[in-house]
Structure 1
Amino acid sequence: MRTCLFLSLVALCFAKPLHQNEFLHFLEEHDVMLQDRPQNTSDIIQPQQTPTPPTTLDDLFFTCPLKCICQVRVVQCSDAGLKSVPARIPKKTVMLDLQNNKITEIKETDLKNLHSLYALFLINNQITKIHPKAFRSMKYLKLLYLSWNLLPQIPTNLPKSLVELRIDGNKIKKIQKEAFKGMKFLHVLEMSGNPLDTTGIEPDAFDGVVRLIYIRISQAKLSSVPKNLPSNLYELYLDHNKISSIELEDFRRYKDLYRLDLSHNQIKEIENGSLAYLPNLRQIHLENNKVRKVPAALKNLKYLQALYLHNNNISKIEVDDFCPKESSIKKMLYSGISLFGNPVKHWEIQPASFRCVSGAYGVQFGNFRK
Structure 2
Amino acid sequence: MTALDDVSTNPTDQVVPERHVGADAYVHSDSENDEAGPVEMGRDTIDGFLDDIPDDAEELDLVHERLTTIENLGFERFTNLRRISLRQNLLSKLHPLPNKTLTELDFYDNRLSRIENIDHLTNLTSLDLSFNKIRRVERVEALTNLTELFFVANKISAIGGLSPLINLTNLELGANRIRAIENLDALVNLEQLWLGKNKITKLEGLDKLRNLKLLSVQSNRLSKIEGIAHLSNLEELYLSHNAITKIEGLDKNANLQTLDLSANRVVVLEGLETLSRLTELWMNDNKLTSYEDIETQLSNKTELETVYFERNPLQLEQAATYRLKLKTILPRITQIDAALVR
* TM-score, normalisation: structure 2: 0.72
Letter of the aligned partner of 1:367 in structure 2? R
DSSP 3-state at the match of 2:193: strand
The answer on 1:154 being equivalent to 2:122 is no
Alpha-carbon offset, residue 346 of structure 1: 2.3
The answer on 1:251 being equivalent to 2:199 is no
Partners of 1:92 and 1:361 in 2: how far apart?
49
Partners of 1:284 and 1:220 in 2: how far apart?
19
Partners of 1:121 and 1:115 in 2: how far apart?
16
Q: Deviations over 1:256-276 (max 9, x none)?
A: 1001111122211334xx110
Partners of 2:86 and 2:44 in 1: how far apart?
11
Partners of 1:234 and 1:312 in 2: how far apart?
25
Q: Deviations over 1:278-297 (max 9, x none)?
A: 01001101111111100x22
Unaligned runs of 5+ in 1: 1-79, 325-329
Letter of the aligned partner of 1:102 in structure 2? R
Cα distance change, pair 83–278 in 1 and its aligned pair in 2 (3 A) = farther
Which residue in 1 is equivalent to 2:183?
Answer: 227
Alpha-carbon offset, residue 87 of structure 1: 5.4
Asked if the contact 1:227/1:251 (under 8 Å) is kept, the reply is: no
Asked if the contact 2:229/2:251 (under 8 Å) is kept, the reply is: no
Which residue in 1 is equivalent to 2:251?
Answer: 299
Q: Deviations over 1:311-345 (max 9, x none)?
A: 11001234xx1114xxxxx6x52112121211121
Question: Aligned ranges for residues 7-46 of structure 1 at < 5 Å?
Answer: none
Which residue in 2 is equivalent to 1:341?
Answer: 285
Root mean square deviation of aligned Cα = 2.5
Which residue in 2 is equivalent to 1:284?
Answer: 237
Q: Deviations over 1:40-73 (max 9, x none)?
A: xxxxxxxxxxxxxxxxxxxxxxxxxxxxxxxxxx
Which residue in 2 is equivalent to 1:216?
Answer: 172
Asked if the contact 1:180/1:207 (under 8 Å) is kept, the reply is: no
Partners of 1:241 and 1:83 in 2: how far apart?
39
Which residue in 1 is equivalent to 2:84?
Answer: 120
Alpha-carbon offset, residue 222 of structure 1: 1.2
The answer on 1:135 being equivalent to 2:97 is yes
Asked if the contact 2:184/2:206 (under 8 Å) is kept, the reply is: no
Which residue in 1 is equivalent to 2:269?
Answer: 317
Partners of 1:350 and 1:124 in 2: how far apart?
46
Cα distance change, pair 182–356 in 1 and its aligned pair in 2 (3 A) = farther
Alpha-carbon offset, residue 82 of structure 1: 6.1
Alpha-carbon offset, residue 215 of structure 1: 0.9
Q: Deviations over 1:203-254 (max 9, x none)?
A: xx2243221100111111111223336221001111111212224xx21121
Cα distance change, pair 219–82 in 1 and its aligned pair in 2 (3 A) = farther
DSSP 3-state at the match of 2:149: strand
Partners of 2:137 and 2:157 in 1: how far apart?
10
Asked if the contact 1:333/1:356 (under 8 Å) is kept, the reply is: no
Unaligned runs of 5+ in 2: 1-41, 317-342
Letter of the aligned partner of 2:59 in structure 1? M
The answer on 1:195 being equivalent to 2:187 is no
Alpha-carbon offset, residue 81 of structure 1: 4.5
* TM-score, normalisation: structure 1: 0.67
| Structure with greater contact order relative to length (CA < 8 Å, sep ≥ 6) | 2
Which residue in 1 is equivalent to 2:11?
Answer: none
